[in-house]
Structure 1
Amino acid sequence: MPDSILAQVLVGLYLGALTGVLPALVSWALGFSFRYVTGVTVPGLGVVVVAAAIAGVSGGLLGLLDPAISETPVGVVAALVVLMASFWAHNQGDKMGEAFPRRITLESIRRRTLSGEVVDRVGRFGQVRVRVTNVEDVEGYPPLPAGVREKLEGERFSLPADLPLSELETRVRDRLRSSYDLETVSVSLDRRANATVAAAPALGGFSRRVPAGQRAVSVETLVPAGADRGDRALLWLPETTVEGHVLGVGEPSEDDDRPTRRLTVAVSPGEVEAVLAAEEVRVAVLGEANGRDLLARLKAAGLRVRTLESVRSRTVDPTALRSETGAQVFAVRGPAGLRVPDGPVRVRAGEELLAVGTPDALRGLREVVA
């Protein structure tokens, strides 16, 4: 053994470092697992005893027990290094077990939000401009045409910034599928609103989407924003109205001052000729009823829906009430059911008026019908 104290200390440090690696790892694992699973801290003395036993089993302390080593500063320093390393590792594992999240679910990952740096403060909630930065092909489908790929890479969308990324991805996907008539499309957004799009062109055109017994007809007209494949559409013609299902919506016209788009709708065979012969077609898209979504939109606009009971029989004119109070009566509910007035309506005592408006307008309406 070295004669000088400094040399023996250095040898003890070296021997302790080699011997203490495995006990330190076990001590960290014990501290982390107990703290994470049970919330209880393992006593440091118990962990040190376990670490010492592991060091002995691994052969490290067997050498320290050799009188030629244990009776010298080399053994003392090596033993102290093993015990201190184990104690420190246990303490770090305990801290990590306390700080590590207890529950990580796919839902919490999908609820990630945008970085505040990309949000433009416009209006109440702000807006974010989504940019398509990467376009990929979908395995098993034909590749996208070069022209479509180029247009996709230049797309920009302004969307509400208060939505989670999963909802933003859904809206961008629906717009791309509708605008470019894509067979399938998926969108992935990062926190800086950069979109990676995987898309495939439509297979077989509209022919395989037309329901049995119907025909596809296309018109150039103004199309409501957000119209998508599968929506119900009303085509207002000069002499009649035709109802059908949207098969696809083309891109806005760049050469016309009016942003018209090509709308393809499935209609009955007897209505095709009337649609094609019309010089002008106006379009309305009928979405599925969603009361919660409607109430949320009204609330965001500062409006409320209230039920007001009529204390006496009277004739109510919704147009006059709106001019007087600012609130709109849109339905009357009574024993006979729900009535939607299209002009003055007779309301009996005990029947309810359903109205929408600002809180002040509704208070004014309540005073009028009281």
Structure 2
Amino acid sequence: MTTPLEIVLGLSFGLLLGLPLAGLVGFGRVVVGNTPIDPSLGVLASVSAVAVAGLVAASMELTQLTTAQLPRLSVGAVVVFALTLYADSAGRQLADELPRTTARPTVRTQTLSADAIDDIDAAGQLTVRPAGRVRAYQGYPPLGSSLRTTLENGRWRLPADVPLSTLETRLEDRLRTNFNLAAVDTAIDGRGRVTITAAPPTDDLATDVPSGWRAVSVTALVPAGLGAGDEILVSTAATTARGIVLRLAADEADPVGDTHLTPAVEFEESVLLAVPTPDAAGILEADSVRLVVTPQRTSHVSDAVSLLERDGATIQRVTITTPIREAVLDDTVDIDAIAVRSGVDPLEASRNPWTFDPSADALEVGAEAFLVGTAMTALESLERTRPTTEVSC
């Protein structure tokens, strides 16, 4: 045969016999894994594979040891040697990349130190304490002094049989829930000391400001009892504007003295107000601001009584007697019963509901009733129907 044909046959025989042998060598290298082995053993394995391939080829009568088949033998041996070396290298690389065990930790599992373990109570709980000042959360306003002091003096009991990362997550959830913090981050060391980074509650302040209004902060004398939501008048030297109290200074001390005895006492503090946008600039530029509380939330009952009095009528609560019952049932007397509640003794009467627009049968002697009528007629009728047994002092 010609030399090119012998070379092609050598490539074919090398691939045919070298691929299975290379596979065996690569599999063995993966099984051996990271065991330190002399790299020269790979060359030895390749030479051994060439010898095995030659024996297999001879046994199958694929080649003969003649000068004419020398190119075939040489090319086949080179192919088997190269494939085996490549398989050994690939097997070693694959063995390095494969995980040798499934017990490798994927999260931090640091636990408490021996000093902290001594502080665990009988229930398996550990009390964690802040290690210093509470840090401000970047991008948020600082905490108020009262909330900061509460956090710095806080104590929290947590289970001691979990990793520190789990303790931090549980403490963050507790702080976020109990104090309504906008953001919080904690770091607990092995001794159970916690470093807190927190942001104050937002309280959705923007949603409390009506459309077309602005929130401004002023310092003024605040009447005792003023609270969020109260409508006020904000007076300056130049103008007077309507306003709504959004928030009072939470960290201001209470006024000294018995304020419950003097409800009109005023004290100066910072107040957050909502005012119309055109008036906001003037209020902020004013040297002094005065807050005036305006009446609000009038009672519908008071409005109804005012209308009746304006018409000359009077409402009076009485206990029905026989003369009063007769006067109410008399169409010529301008007295009507608008509500009645039965019950002879006060305790029994307090347990019964009021009956509005009662019928004649409901007007029992001894029951309580609200009577309405024109002022002069109602008073004269009640005087005429007063029992004669009443003794005047």
TM-score, length-normalised on structure 1? 0.29
Q: TM-score, normalised by structure 2?
A: 0.27
State which structure, 1 or 2, has the greater radius of gyration over its C-alpha atoms.
2
